[in-house]
With several copies, the nearest count.
Chain A
Amino acid sequence: MQLSREDLLKAYRRMVMIREFEEAVHEEFSAGSIPGFVHLYAGEEASGVGVCMHLNDNDYIASTHRGHGHCLAKDCDEHAMMLEIFGKKEGLCGGKGGSMHIADLSKGMMGANGIVGGGPPLICGAALTAKTLKTGGVAVAFVGDGASNQGTVFESYNLAKILNLPAIFVVEDNGYAEATSSRYSVAGSQVNRGKAFDIPAVEVDGSDFFAVWEAAREAVERARNGGGPSLIHSRVLRYYGHFEGDAMTYRPADEVANYRAQKDPLMQFRRRVTEAGLLDGSALDEIDRSVKDRIAQCVVQAKSAPEPTEADLLTDVYISY
């Protein structure tokens, strides 16, 4: 399996989409137009996109509180997402979910999740459906470094292994859980944690799209071929605070700047594909431009879109009651 030109363009477009989306949300949050708890994925783009490039609508992912990037990587509509984050009626979840609960099951996106460690058991379920109904699908749980200590995650490793489920656990280790360093909170190693359950596990540089893509290719193939679960430890960095409003005093002042300068995933991707002559800069520039426009448009529309009304308050609680 190889990345075609179309794949590369798609991957880049998705990564830029995430970056622009998050930058816009950052700006709008700072300006006071977005309420609630908002966690941005900027900086981690290559990880989510590198994984989701292998997935189709028949495959499921479960995300975390830091969900925008995974949604966009899984092809959720950016316009409906932006509306949702603004709490609008035409938002992807009717304004009822917001940033922490964006989902689109028709795209195989099972939801961001406000509960740390909430996703992995759900993904075992999606994988069980795939296995039982023989849909050919696989299921991926994204897990933060902080989340990797939650009991539900280990339970899911074990369950996925003993039921031989087509499940993949991607531990996106951005070095922090809120203000706590993973150097403090995580005993042992992510890879050994996987291996302790006899789950094949690898570590990758999550800022390198191609490294993630390759690791995910193996894991997805294994899952599709009945080989059971895999674990990928993807090292990344988040560019913004834990949530919007976080002063980030627990981080060295230059941490993000250095990373941006040396390892920014978009920059790395661009350098790699242009140096290898796979794509030329102008095609990428064109994506940059069009995505920027698109997101700007989404923001404008989100601002003026109608709010939900009292009639919406009590719908969607049950299917029948």
Chain B
Amino acid sequence: MAKKSYRQAISEALRQEMERDHRVIVLGEDIAGGAGGDAEQDAWGGPMGVTKGLLPLFGRERVIDTPITESGFIGAAVGAAATGLRPVADLMFVDFMGVCFDQIFNQAAKFKYMFGGKATTPVVIRTMYGAGFRAASQHSQCLYNIFTHIPGLKVALPSNPYEAKGLMIQAIRDDDPVIFFEHKAMYDMEGEVPDESYAIPFGQANVTREGDDATIIAFGRMVNFANTVADKLSKEGITCTVVDPRTTSPLDTETILETAAETGRVVVVDEAHPRCNMATDVSALICQEAFDKLKAPIKMVTAPHAPVPFSAALEDLYIPSMDKIEAAVRSVTGKSH
């Protein structure tokens, strides 16, 4: 096993799946980069370089630079998926969903149901989310709750390089439409990633820490924050279970309910705005299904109900911090400093 970055892990998953199945194509704005120009043709590989290197291997027929027409090319990916390809489309930032959401939530998500089960739409939409890049209000949102709300979509939120590779391979092999969320602040994160191909099944949470005092359920990048907090608190003798659901849809309600019941004290960490988000989703689930096991209020740690600010000083205050997670754990366990 080798150390690889989140970027490399996703890239490797794409490459291996494209080698395995000729129906897999990638498309998006500057997914290769340089089209029509007189210099380097694989100049970008997307703004973060994730798809760099695919063009020389698979050619422009399968690595397709698109114009800036998200409805057009995301819709084309959906239509291609319904007719025999397995496209991986790149919605550069999830913040751009507003110009193409229809093709995702009214078309891809609903074909199977509306058409009485007869359609298959194996499209993957990769997208970047999250704050921390000083990218301001229109390039820093999470929004996975919106996709999670929509029946017919699956939503993956890999929390580290290992997860990223395995979940991407599953996403491509999955016959349902999958929205694959990559956190923009994680591309350089490194971790052990096997060279060989492997798929991580959807809907199976990963318990990253086991403990007795509290259960932290966290999403995406926040899983790492939760792990760090758990490690820190364990030195004080406060031990936490940390749950990474991996996918918000399907959601591994079983593991969530079990681990919540075990400690009876729950913190849910969601980088998103607070209203109708995954923190409320999981809290409500537990409160309905495991109420009798709860020993304390469920605490939610989220961003505030405000757009993401540009200023570094404000953005740092904006993002759910490890301090806030730690405080929440102390609060539910009743163990303050």
Indicate whether A and B are direct neighbours in the complex (CB within 8 Å).
Answer: yes
A: residues with CB less than 8 A from B are 35-37, 60, 62, 87-89, 91-98, 100-101, 103-106, 110-111, 113-118, 120-126, 128-130, 132-133, 135, 139, 146-147, 149-152, 155-156, 158-159, 162-163, 176-186, 247, 249-253, 307-310, 312-321
Whose C-beta in chain A lies nearest to the C-beta of B201?
Answer: A320
Whose C-beta in chain B lies nearest to the C-beta of A150?
Answer: B68
The answer on a CB contact under 8 Å between B114 and A183 is: no
Residue total for B at the interface (Cβ-Cβ under 8 A): 86
Among candidates A37, A133, A149, residue contacting B23 with C-beta atoms closer than 8 Å: A133
Whose C-beta in chain B lies nearest to the C-beta of A182?
Answer: B36
A106: shortest Cβ distance to chain B, in Å? 7
The answer on a CB contact under 8 Å between B39 and A178 is: no
Contacts of B75 in A (CB 8 A): 118, 120-122, 124-125, 152, 156
Q: Is B287 part of the contact surface with A, judged by Cβ < 8 Å?
A: no
The answer on a CB contact under 8 Å between A37 and B139 is: yes
Q: Is B118 part of the contact surface with A, judged by Cβ < 8 Å?
A: yes
Give chain B interface residues in 55-91, CB to chain A under 8 Å.
61-62, 64-85, 87
The answer on a CB contact under 8 Å between B85 and A133 is: yes
Whose C-beta in chain A lies nearest to the C-beta of B133?
Answer: A36
B318: shortest Cβ distance to chain A, in Å? 6
A sample of 12 inter-chain contacts (CB < 8 A) reads A87-B312, A94-B116, A96-B116, A101-B115, A101-B138, A125-B79, A135-B84, A150-B69, A159-B67, A185-B36, A307-B312, A319-B176
The answer on a CB contact under 8 Å between A101 and B117 is: no
The 9 closest A-B pairs by CB, nearest first: A125-B79, A121-B75, A184-B36, A98-B310, A181-B36, A94-B116, A155-B72, A114-B138, A122-B79
The answer on a CB contact under 8 Å between B44 and A250 is: yes
Contacts of B136 in A (CB 8 A): 36-37, 96-98, 100-101, 114
The answer on a CB contact under 8 Å between B76 and A125 is: yes
The answer on a CB contact under 8 Å between B69 and A149 is: yes
A136: shortest Cβ distance to chain B, in Å? 13
The answer on a CB contact under 8 Å between A98 and B115 is: no
Contacts of B35 in A (CB 8 A): 179-181, 184-185
CA distance A106 to B29 in the complex (A): 32
Query: Which of B211-219, B288-296, B301-309 touches A?
Result: B301-309
The answer on a CB contact under 8 Å between A320 and B152 is: no
Contacts of A316 in B (CB 8 A): 112-113, 116-117
B: residues with CB less than 8 A from A are 23, 25, 29-30, 33-41, 43-44, 47, 61-62, 64-85, 87, 95-96, 98-99, 102-103, 106-107, 111-120, 133-139, 151-152, 154, 174-176, 203, 250, 304-307, 309-314, 317-318
- Which of B85, B114, B176, B318 has the largest number of chain A CB atoms within 10 A? B114
Contacts of B133 in A (CB 8 A): 36-37
CA distance A103 to B71 in the complex (A): 21
B138: shortest Cβ distance to chain A, in Å? 3
Whose C-beta in chain A lies nearest to the C-beta of B36?
Answer: A184
Whose C-beta in chain B lies nearest to the C-beta of A156?
Answer: B72
The answer on a CB contact under 8 Å between A118 and B106 is: yes
CA distance A211 to B61 in the complex (A): 35
CA distance A317 to B114 in the complex (A): 9
The answer on a CB contact under 8 Å between A105 and B106 is: no
Contacts of B30 in A (CB 8 A): 178-180
Contacts of A178 in B (CB 8 A): 29-30, 33, 44, 47
CA distance A149 to B29 in the complex (A): 12
Contacts of A98 in B (CB 8 A): 134, 136, 310-311
B329: shortest Cβ distance to chain A, in Å? 22
Known contacts: A100-B138, A319-B112. The answer to whether A129 contacts B44 by CB under 8 A is no
